[in-house]
C-alpha cells in the first residue's frame, strides 16, 4: 500500500466540502482553521510541503488572519479554492497572487486538483535537498577528509550503524552532528525506512505528547482527524532527537516509556501501539554533566548513552580544511563556482582557531564570496590575516562602498535565514516588503540563482 502524503488543509471552522473528503483518499489531511487565533509557530511533519487554502467570502479581517496562518505554516507550495473567481484588486486576489501557485473555483475537477497537488509535491521533493543551502550545506561535507580523527569517527559510526541500539552523537556546535545522524541511518539496515527529525528546542512542553505520540480524532477541540506522532512516523526507520539536551525534565519523562518498552499511546486513545523507530540523539553538551546538575534524567541518559560518538572540532582536523573549503565554494553558491582561494587565504583558514567549527567556515567563505570582486578570494576577504587572526576586510573601502557591501550581505543573510519567504525576510531585516524589493533591484540580486524555492507556476497566475 502506497503511503499517503501529508496535505495541509486550511479552511474555515465550518468547512465541510465534498472535495476535501475526496482528497482524503489519496492524502493524509492535516486540518487547520483560520478562524482560530494564529499561533506563533506550529509543528508539521517533515514531509508536509503543499497545502490548500479553501476560501469562502472573506472580509479584510479574515484575510489578515489567513495570511498570518500561511506565513506560520510556511509550506513550499499552496493552491487556492474559492466559490467563485475573486474580483481583481480585492484582498483575496492579492492573497492568492502572493502565496499561491494555482487557483481553482467550485466545482473543481477532483482528478485535476489531485494532479496539480501531486506535481507540486514532487517539485518540492526535488528542491528539498537545497532548501537551506546557506545554513546546512556544510553538513553534506562534515564527515569528509583524511585526518585520523574523522576516519576514526567514520569507522565508529559504521560499527554503530550495524546495531539496533540508540546512538548518542555529541560535539561542539557546527561540527556536523546532523551529518553523523544521517550517516548512521543510511548505513544501517533501516536505510530504506523514514528518517524523522525532532527539533527539541522548538517542541513546546504542552505539545510534547501529541507531537511525539500522535492523537485520535476528537482528543481535543481542533483534532478533526487522527494523526500519527513522530515516533509512529519513524516506524522501520530512525528518529533523530536534535539537541536533546534542551528537553525539559517533564519532556524527558514523556519519552522514557518508549525507550524502555518501544510502545506508545496516542493522546485520546487507549490502544498500545508498537513504535519501531531507532533512536539517534544529538547533543552539544555533555549529558553526564547535565545529569550531575539535575537538568537531565539519569535513566534517560543511560538508555541513550550506551553507544556514543564525539565529533572532533575543526581545529583538530586542520588538514581537512582546504578540501572542505574548496568543496563548499563549488556547491553552496552558484556565483562562487568560478572563484578560488589564494594560497594565503588557504593558509589563513588552516591557521584559524575555528570556535564556530564548520558552520563558521561556511560563514567565512560566504563573506569572502560577497566581498571579493575578483576571481581569487584573499585572506582579507575572509576577515582573516595569514596567521588566522580576525581582521576587518572592509577597512580600505570608502563609506559608500562599505554601505553597499553591508547592505548586500544583510539582504542575502536575511533572505537565507527566512528561507526566502519575502514577508519573513522583511520582518527579520525590519523593513517593509516594498523596501525589500527595491533594495533587491538596487543591488541587482538575482534570486533565481540564490532561491531554491522557485515556483513551477508563475505566482499570480489565475487558472
User: Side-chain half-sphere of 19: how many Cα atoms within 13 Å?
Assistant: 21
| 298 pLDDT tier (thresholds 50, 70, 90) | very high
Q: What is the pLDDT at residue 260?
A: 84
pTM for the structure as a whole: 0.60
CATH topology assigned to domain 148-311? Rossmann fold (3.40.50)
Q: What is the CATH number of domain 5-130?
A: 3.40.50.2300
Domain map of the chain by residue range? 5-130, 148-311, 317-450
Once rounded to an integer, what is the mean pLDDT over residues 455-460? 37
Once rounded to an integer, what is the mean pLDDT over residues 9-24? 76
Q: In what helix (H) or strand (E) does residue 177 lie, and over which residues does it extend?
A: helix 177-186
- Dihedral over Cα of 110, 127, 42, 99: its sign: negative
Question: Which tops the pLDDT comparison, 5 or 87?
Answer: 5
| 281 pLDDT tier (thresholds 50, 70, 90) | very high
Number of Cβ within a 10 Å radius of residue 374: 9
Once rounded to an integer, what is the mean pLDDT over residues 291-306? 91
CA neighbor of 76 nearest in space, from 392, 389, 454: 454
| 280 pLDDT tier (thresholds 50, 70, 90) | very high
Rounded-to-integer distance, Cα 139 and Cα 134, Å: 11
Q: What is the pLDDT at residue 297?
A: 93
5-130 and 148-311 have identical folds: yes
Q: What is the pLDDT at residue 313?
A: 94
Once rounded to an integer, what is the mean pLDDT over residues 186-203? 87
Q: What is the pLDDT at residue 128?
A: 54
Q: What is the pLDDT at residue 359?
A: 86
Asked whether the predicted pLDDT for residue 231 surpasses 50, the reply is yes
Per this entry, what is the length of the chain? 463
All three cell numbers of 149, joined, read: 580523527
pLDDT digits (tens, 9 = 90+) for 340-389: 899 999 999 999 999 989 988 988 888 888 777 788 888 888 888 777 66
pLDDT digits (tens, 9 = 90+) for 133-166: 343 467 888 888 889 999 999 999 999 999 999 9
Asked whether the predicted pLDDT for residue 232 surpasses 50, the reply is yes
| 459 pLDDT tier (thresholds 50, 70, 90) | very low
pLDDT digits (tens, 9 = 90+) for 79-137: 988 877 766 767 777 778 878 888 888 788 888 888 899 888 888 876 554 334 343 46
Amino acid at each position: 500500500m502506497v503511503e499517503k502524503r501529508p496535505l495541509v488543509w486550511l479552511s474555515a471552522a465550518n468547512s465541510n466540502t465534498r472535495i476535501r473528503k475526496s482528497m482524503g483518499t489519496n492524502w493524509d489531511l492535516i486540518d487547520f482553521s483560520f478562524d482560530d487565533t494564529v499561533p506563533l509557530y506550529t509543528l508539521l511533519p517533515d514531509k508536509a510541503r503543499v497545502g490548500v487554502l479553501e476560501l469562502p467570502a472573506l472580509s479584510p479581517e479574515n484575510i489578515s488572519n489567513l495570511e498570518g496562518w500561511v506565513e506560520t505554516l510556511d509550506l513550499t507550495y499552496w493552491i487556492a479554492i474559492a466559490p467563485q473567481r475573486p474580483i481583481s484588486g480585492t484582498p483575496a486576489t492579492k492573497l492568492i497572487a502572493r502565496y499561491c501557485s494555482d487557483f481553482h473555483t467550485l466545482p473543481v475537477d477532483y482528478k485535476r486538483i489531485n494532479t496539480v497537488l501531486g506535481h507540486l509535491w514532487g517539485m518540492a521533493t526535488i528542491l528539498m535537498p537545497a532548501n537551506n543551502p546557506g545554513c546546512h550545506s556544510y553538513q553534506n561535507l562534515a564527515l569528509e577528509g583524511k585526518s585520523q580523527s574523522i576516519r576514526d569517527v567514520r569507522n565508529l559510526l559504521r560499527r554503530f550503524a550495524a546495531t539496533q541500539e540508540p546512538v548518542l552523537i555529541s560535539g561542539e556546535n557546527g561540527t556536523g552532528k546532523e551529518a553523523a545522524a544521517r550517516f548512521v541511518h543510511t548505513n544501517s539496515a533501516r536505510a530504506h525506512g523514514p528518517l524523522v527529525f525532532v527539533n527539541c528546542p522548538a517542541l513546546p512542553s504542552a505539545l510534547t505528547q501529541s507531537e511525539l505520540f500522535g492523537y485520535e480524532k476528537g482528543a481535543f477541540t481542533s483534532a478533526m482527524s487522527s494523526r500519527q506522532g513522530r515516533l509512529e512516523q519513524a516506524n522501520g526507520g530512525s528518529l533523530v532527537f536534535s539537541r536533546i539536551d534542551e528537553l525539559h525534565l517533564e519532556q524527558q519523562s514523556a519519552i522514557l516509556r518508549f525507550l524502555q518498552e518501544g510502545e506508545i499511546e496516542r493522546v485520546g486513545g487507549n490502544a498500545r501501539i508498537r513504535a519501531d523507530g531507532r533512536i539517534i540523539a544529538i547533543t552539544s553538551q555533555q549529558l553526564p554533566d547535565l545529569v550531575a546538575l539535575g537538568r537531565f534524567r539519569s535513566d534517560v541518559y543511560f538508555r541513550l548513552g550506551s553507544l556514543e560518538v564525539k565529533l572532533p572540532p575543526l581545529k583538530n582536523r586542520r588538514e581537512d580544511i582546504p578540501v572542505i573549503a574548496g568543496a563548499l565554494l563549488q556547491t553552496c553558491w552558484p556565483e562562487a563556482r568560478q572563484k578560488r582561494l589564494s594560497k594565503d587565504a588557504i593558509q589563513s583558514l588552516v591557521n584559524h582557531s575555528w570556535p564556530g567549527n564548520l558552520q563558521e567556515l561556511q560563514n567565512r567563505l560566504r563573506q569572502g564570496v560577497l566581498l571579493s570582486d575578483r576571481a581569487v578570494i584573499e585572506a582579507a576577504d575572509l576577515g582573516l590575516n595569514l596567521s588566522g587572526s580576525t581582521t576587518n576586510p572592509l577597512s580600505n573601502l570608502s563609506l559608500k562602498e562599505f554601505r553597499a557591501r553591508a547592505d548586500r550581505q544583510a539582504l542575502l543573510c536575511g533572505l537565507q535565514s527566512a528561507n526566502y519567504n519575502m514577508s519573513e525576510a522583511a520582518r527579520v531585516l525590519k523593513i517593509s516588503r516594498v523596501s525589500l524589493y527595491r533594495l533587491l533591484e538596487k543591488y541587482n540580486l538575482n534570486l533565481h540563482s540564490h532561491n531554491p524555492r522557485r515556483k513551477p507556476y508563475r505566482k499570480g497566475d489565475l487558472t
